[in-house]
A and B are shown apart, each in its own frame.
Chain A
Amino acid sequence: MPEPIARARAFSYSYPDGGGASLRDVSLELEPGTFTVLAGLSGSGKSTLLRALCGLVPHFHGGEVAGELVVGGLDVRTHGPGELAAVCGTVFQEPETQVVMGGVRAELELPLEHRGEPPAAVGRAVEETAISLGVAHLLERRTDTLSGGELQRVAIAAAMVHGPALLLLDEPTSQLDPVAGDELVWLLRRLNEDWGTAVVLAEHRLERCLPAADRVVALVEGRVACDAPPRDYLAWAAEAAPALATPAAKLFSLAGLPERPASVKEARTGLRAAGVELSASPPPTPPRARRKWWARNGRRPLALDIRGVWFEIEDGPSVLRGLDLQLLPGERVALMGRNGAGKSTLLRLAKGVETPTRGRVARGGEVALLLQNPGDFLIHEHAVEDAGPGGVVAAGLAGREQANPRDLSGGERQRLALEVVLAGGPYAAVLLDEPTRGMDRAHKDRLAGRIEELAEANAAVMVATHDTEFAASFAERIVLLGQGLVIGDGTPADVLAGGRHFSTEVARVTSGAALMPEEGARMLTREEVPG
């Protein structure tokens, strides 16, 4: 057995604010060259464990440590992040604040200069790393001109340029669209296979990274609750922590099938093994024409009426090109499309934060808009000053009125910010821009419940999201944007079942026959599965 790259023995840690232990008796060993996924709900200790592995805990954050944690032969209690940086590279969630320099080449050179490497070695390491990680074309770019996905790749390159044996990543895909997120996970897998780098990846969207993983460590309230290969982990999650199971695993569990597939391919194989014959993926159903739908509902008053709207940027592109969209009161709509398709712009125009360069936006009453970063809405020192006593309760934070919003988790901040924008209701329309970024499944379910309440109160709710599973869970209508126009508009079954990219994991497993695990399981148990 090779010497582990990291070893924890009864390691516990508490932050200095006295809020209780964030890690409790963690014992594990990470072998060189393995790909480990850290799973767990928000606040379970994933980020803290990563920060301990890179030495920020306790040297940067302070606090109390017990037990032992050794990384690359260095004890984190006595060696700080500077020394541990020789052994491990670290990439955080927010791309913007971890890229330090103004140019990409300078960013990659910096860690090597810190180590006093000679110029020739710096030049060679930068070139080789950039080529291997697919950022060679970005070397002469300024960092403030890069997209989120490009920034994350540059951050990974900067973390790997000195050749560490261990790479730690804290939800690196949470700020990215699904395509950039998938590319990043496969880049990590290649890095793991080609370079032999051990990867530890904390992630909420497990369906994205389990196919690449050798092993999953699940944390519950700071303790290691499961440490197993992906399929065994999914078997554990199905029983002990359903919120941590992937949709395909949940489908199999609900249908009573014995397998716990870690990927769509495994799930399809599992279904075939169970005697379920899947037909070839049907061609995408043409979305129902909106005009027809509108003809059926045309006499009802509209919550939002957007007609012929253009949004053209001076010296820039036309983000929206004569877009038409009508929302009825009480409708639950998911607005989807790739990055740059115009989702956020459409929401801003609907609220009136921006003005269309052509076209008309009519509102059936007040419109509430929650922008992407909930922290921007939380101005005061105490939660109650921002949202009021009723808002704090509605956000599920009763008893924490005096909490500083910055001390809340991402999901809690999102809920509180939503109540801040809803304070002046009632609203004809409520618009949410990417509210599930970095959220665990439990928080998403709670948000879906709140959307249901708002719709029952007759508000049209439109949510811009990349998260197909979330969209399928709350929406009755999916609007797909592309090139500044509506390119798909219909029920979730119409739009998400036959899509190649915009589809749920269960839809991909069942060739579009079902979108959600519950629906798929009903179908399987009713018809296909023998016995």
Chain B
Amino acid sequence: MAMNPMEQFAIKPLIAEPVLHIAGHPIYFTNQALLMIIVALASSLFLTLAVKPNRLVPTRGQSMAELSYEFVATMIHSATGEDGLKFFPFVFTLFIFVLCSNFFGMVPGSFTVTSQIAVTLALACLVIGMVIVVGFMKHGIGFLKLFVPHAPWYLLILLIPIEVISFLTRPISLSVRLFANMLAGHTMLAVFAGFVVSLGTAGGVYMGIAVAPLLLIVAIMLLELLVAFLQAYVFAILTCIYLNEALHLHDHH
């Protein structure tokens, strides 16, 4: 094997010395930390600077910022109704962070923040923790009615454990979906890139065949751009759906 396709996900410290120690554990400044800072700074700078001139006829940058604002606002409104708009800053930040990390990861040679399960699990736990806090603040102990669907009592014996288990697996499914999509896509790109290298160095007629995986990489790259957007969208809309359940329990808004 020419190169390991999983090598691109390795986390390397950029500064050899640990930056600080927390409870005896050394904390390093890694390529992941750098990319996360770049993503956070770039997205917040772009969104603030793009709407700063506040023109009546928007420029391209301003309309990009306004479109993403409207996109997320419509999404929250359709999924959670009027009182879900309180959570706009939370959902918008999540959406933009995941979207920008996915797109920054598509740049060749950079690092995909969301391909690390530590990052996506932290985001998913934040979402589920938020849902639990909001649910208990709004309904008190009545939030536990979420686990009791409308059904005859003999079915409830079966349904309540299923509802509890499905609630508890949400952080796992939410995080694994995003992380596995990014990991699988980038691994696939690396594997096909390995084909190009090994065919290209084989010489002779193989050099001509090497064009085929190269074209395939271009096609997969387009698919990955779609997936990068789609996964950010799915992450945000599932957050909205979970928040909707916490706000309205079983009745529809």
**Do A and B come together as binding partners?**
no
A residues adjacent to B (C-beta < 8 A): none
